[in-house]
């Protein structure tokens, strides 16, 4: 029963933190609308728009006749276990993480 209570407390704490974050955002937004805009006392000189860039002329060299281009085969985004190093990294991950504790029978340590 203790474990269920702890999980409930953690869930409630996460929900309360999320709601508090939403309330703080709403209050900041509302406070920003109520304040009058700040006017600068220093006169600002008008800025001229930047000059237009010079036109760029692009010329490509003429294409020489060549062999027809073979299209590459489309590869999948990622294939698993295509190389022995992939299997090695999987074994290392399994050794570090260990077995899934959700599949083990509950222990009575008491």
Q: What is the DSSP string of the chain?
A: -HHHHHHHHHHHHHHHHHHHHHHHHHHHHHHHHHSPPP--SS--PPPPPPPPPPP----PPPPPP-PPPPPPPPPPS--TTSSHHHHHHHHHHHHHH-S-GGGSPPP---
CB-based contact 90:84 (threshold 8 Å) = no
pTM: 0.31
Q: Where are the domains of the chain?
A: 1-35
Per-residue pLDDT tens for 6-52? Answer: 888 989 999 999 999 999 999 988 887 766 666 656 676 778 888 88
User: Per-residue confidence at 75, pLDDT binned at 50, 70, 90?
Assistant: low
Summarize pLDDT for 15-25 with one digit per residue, the tens: 999 999 999 99
């Amino acid at each position: 029963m203790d474990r269920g209570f702890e999980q409930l407390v953690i869930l409630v704490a996460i929900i309360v933190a999320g709601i508090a974050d939403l309330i703080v955002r709403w209050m900041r937004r509302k406070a920003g609308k109520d304040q009058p805009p700040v006017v600068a006392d220093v006169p600002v000189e008008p800025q001229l728009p930047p000059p237009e860039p010079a036109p760029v002329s692009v010329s490509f060299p003429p294409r020489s006749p060549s062999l027809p281009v073979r299209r590459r085969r489309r590869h999948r985004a990622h294939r698993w276990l295509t190389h022995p190093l992939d299997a090695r990294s999987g074994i290392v991950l399994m050794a570090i993480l260990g077995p899934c504790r959700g599949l083990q029978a509950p222990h009575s340590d008491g």
